[in-house]
Structure 1
């Protein structure tokens, strides 16, 4: 369904643009802007804007005006871009609160999407939420979007396990380094029973997979500017590998 009435009625159009600006100022990060740029075909404009990302990064007072400039451009470029913003998982609930009539343009159940975990949840619960979010992201904006989300959650989970076990790791330890510390020093993972040698080989394979996922996250996902993103089957592979690693470690350590 097209947003025809919002292109014709200047009052409705203005209310929508202002609601979008408020939602974006409240929710969007630099990475969200970069992701949206790739998904909407507006990457060159967003990343070359002389103030948009810089103003957001430094929390300058002109950021809201920069967002308004971007939205005005998007409406000139085509309302399909605005439709993508309306359906963005970070923006939809905000917009529907202000403009309930937009529900006819929303293509999913926005109440089911949560990208942030409550502070009371454990790091394992955060990964489970990230895995659920990944399923939705793969349907909403493609599996590439899920790779960065899962990497961040798994990194936090491994760091939490190291801390719980009293393992000393560097503040900037990579996902691979954290996994190695768990595999070699965590009391539950040091002795894997009668088939320890074979299981160590399997875990070494997963360590290599984690290292590859780390590289994919840095170079082939939307976490950093790149025009050479992962293909869909490869992104699915990275997501499923993350799921398998998490399920095994959680089953072993019990949380």
Structure 2
């Protein structure tokens, strides 16, 4: 097999192999604050944020929240929207999936007095799951962060406002909720907001076509050269 034919074969294999790149977030509030303000998340108190997908079909691969990075295990779940509660809350009877993950212990955090060391730059960050491959149609959903039975996270999700109560982003979610047994409740305070980002893979066929056309061009050039 000639050298240019080998290159062409390799290029064709690459071309037919599924490729995607994480190109954008379908939901992205931006990060929350980096000081002591927000909601505590623990086994007796969970939080959720409402989001809307406008695309007719989306494949969700990443779901992350903005955390004060206190170590522990926690779950993120996707629920439908409860339209019959008066105020919007997650519908726990409509579950699209849940995934456990660990939050790294990188914060100088004391759950007993809820203090964060603001001089520790690594005290805050995104934590969540990736590679979940969840297919959702257009509609309204909730992403909930829950400390379920057997999990031990007892930490803090900073809110979306600065020290002067100014919003940190124009993309703060429209609705938030919090859970205490036995039910979800709609949140009506800025301190119960939190950062959320949800991503999906986006194919890049143009790059693959460019690669293929380049390989074909090289093959054609080599063929003419051999004549």
Normalised by the size of structure 2, how large is the TM-score? 0.23
Normalised by the size of structure 1, how large is the TM-score? 0.21
Q: Name which structure has the greater RCO, CA cutoff 8 Å, separation 6+.
A: 2
Task: Name the structure where strand makes up a greater proportion of residues.
Answer: 2
